Amino acid sequence: MTTHIGLLGCGTVGAAVAEMLLTEKTLLARRSGQTLALKRILIRDRAKARSPAIPTTLYTTNPDDILNDPEIRIVVEVMGGVNPAKTFSLRALKAGKLLVTANKHLLALHGAQIFRAAAQADSCVGFEASCGGAIPIVLALTRGLVANEIQQVVGIVNGTCNYILSEMSATGKSYSVALAEAQAAGFAEPDPTLDVTGGDSAHKLAILAALAFGGQVPFGRIHVSGINHIDDMDLRFGRELGYVCKLLAIAEKHGQSISLRVHPTFIARQHLLGNVNGSFNAIAVVGHVSGQTIYYGRGAGGRPTASAVLADIVEAAMGTAPLLFKKLPLLNHRAALRILPIENVSSRHYLRMQVLDRPGMLHQITGILGQRGISLAAMVQHEARNDQYVPLVIMTHAAPDGNVVEALTKIDRLRGIRSPTRHIRVIDPPF
Ligand code: NAP
Ligand code: HSE
């Protein structure tokens, strides 16, 4: 039996999915046993240049041509953004269609409503492509690790940021040149602010944490900071101390609560995650029985993402996706997770102050840190060259985030400090 598919969107991801459905039909049928037929593709702009592999007769600018077509069984939303993607997704489910989406932004904010609509319609939502590009991380969390109490999820989940950070470190490229290259390669979101400010990683963390810990994630409770203020000098100091900087999405269990944070993080250079470069993603998951497992692969780009979308299409066509959706509580949790605020999360911290090179400054700084129980693990200061201000780098022992932020507010008010002090959190194994 042929399963007809409608695509909402034909950009970086949509075009790669369409090309696969059209040119890899035989391979897909041989490997999955499914006969898949792409019937219609929704676009916005008919004048745009498109892939020559896709017949122009498939395009439409009218969503009804897909959402009201009874022959179309699977709707694949690869438009991005919240609206009209949300309206179209809900309409598709209400019409009894099976939904596949790569839209982490939509799921992080409105996943509960979309999943409820799918359950009411006896349908399903496939969302493997929403996190980690080609990496089957949704499969791993919902099935491979189902027997585990998950303790920690630590991921490099944004290809654009990882590309920028690794290019800046490896080749000395500027932030803006590296970002432009990531955009040209199709890694970035249409508005790359979402990537570089950490929003996209937070969307993915909301999805991964919901699956890992079995509860809804109140998106606004995720601490988010991005790489848009990263300074080259900190990457160099980090290297001197044996670290590399990665934008990490971290979810950890602390008793009955979960901490959720996205921020630039120093990781030991020899750790596996410290060696994930370019647009690659890697996600480490610690389960109480499995111990640590790590998933690695291309996290962005049309073809890697299409691989995950196609996996969802096959599961929907086979009927396993609707069955799982009905039977697996991990996909239907209702209660919200209890969140531990970042102020209470303890870690080590890298601090770089620009300090006036005069007596007594170090004494004042260490005094402020010491009053809040923050102990120093390492300190680096090179001789001043052409400036009266010298960079003073401090690596702390583990201390609660709130204490460090409070100390920095006080330090930045000292006469003799050129604020703001740069602050990068450090992550230590196990993860
Ligand atoms: P994109 O290149 O900007 O493509 C978006 C497509 O949706 C375009 O074809 C656009 O039409 C169409 N579209 C947008 N709004 C529309 C509207 N109102 N009506 C009709 N068509 C509309 O985006 P993308 O990079 O493929 O990303 C698509 C989704 O996949 C997003 O949710 C993104 O977060 C997610 N994702 C992307 C990647 C990646 O590496 N790029 C990886 C994983 C997940 P036109 O072509 O006519 O403009
Ligand atoms: N903009 C996203 C990234 C696409 O760079 O990771 C993949 O989700």
Nearest to 15 by CA among 46, 52, 44: 52
pTM for this one? 0.97
Which ligand 1 atom lies nearest to the CA of residue 188?
Answer: 41
Residue whose CB lies within 8 A of the most ligand 1 atoms, among 8, 10, 13, for a mutation test? 13
Q: What is the pLDDT of residues 2-54, one digit of tens each?
A: 999 999 999 999 999 999 999 999 999 999 999 999 999 999 999 999 999 99
> Out of 204, 246, 326, 327, which one is annotated catalytic?
204
pLDDT at 58 exceeding the cut of 80: yes
- Say how many C-beta atoms besides its own lie within 10 A of residue 352's C-beta: 20
Q: What is the pLDDT of residues 228-241, one digit of tens each?
A: 999 999 999 999 99
Contact 7, 20 (CB under 8 A): no
Residues 6+ away with beta carbon under 8 Å from 270: none
Q: What is the pLDDT of residues 261-280, one digit of tens each?
A: 999 999 999 999 999 999 99
Residue linked to tokens 């102050």: 353
Is 204 a known active-site residue?
yes
Instruction: Report DSSP state, residue 363.
Output: H
| Predicted local confidence at residue 431, as pLDDT | 64
- Domain architecture of the chain: domains with CATH: 2-133+303-331 (3.40.50.720), 137-299 (3.30.360.10), 344-426 (3.30.70.260)
- Say how many C-beta atoms besides its own lie within 10 A of residue 58's C-beta: 18
Strand ranges (E), 102-203: 125-126, 150-156
- How far apart (Å, rounded) are the C-alpha atoms in residues 206 and 115? 14
Q: What is the pLDDT of residues 127-164, one digit of tens each?
A: 999 999 999 999 999 999 999 999 999 999 999 999 99
pLDDT at 374 exceeding the cut of 70: yes
| Predicted local confidence at residue 368, as pLDDT | 98
More confident residue, 430 or 74: 74
Q: What is the pLDDT of residues 384-416, one digit of tens each?
A: 777 799 999 999 999 999 999 999 999 999 999
Contact 2, 35 (CB under 8 A): yes
Nearest to 342 by CA among 396, 402, 398: 402
Average pLDDT for 245-251: 98
Alpha-carbon torsion, ordered 99, 100, 106, 109, to 10 deg: 70
| Predicted local confidence at residue 385, as pLDDT | 77
Alpha-carbon torsion, ordered 141, 147, 150, 153, to 10 deg: -30
- How far apart (Å, rounded) are the C-alpha atoms in residues 161 and 154? 15
Average pLDDT value over all residues in the chain: 96
pLDDT at 370 exceeding the cut of 80: yes
- Residues lining ligand 2, CB < 6 A? 133, 158-160, 187-189, 195, 200, 299-300
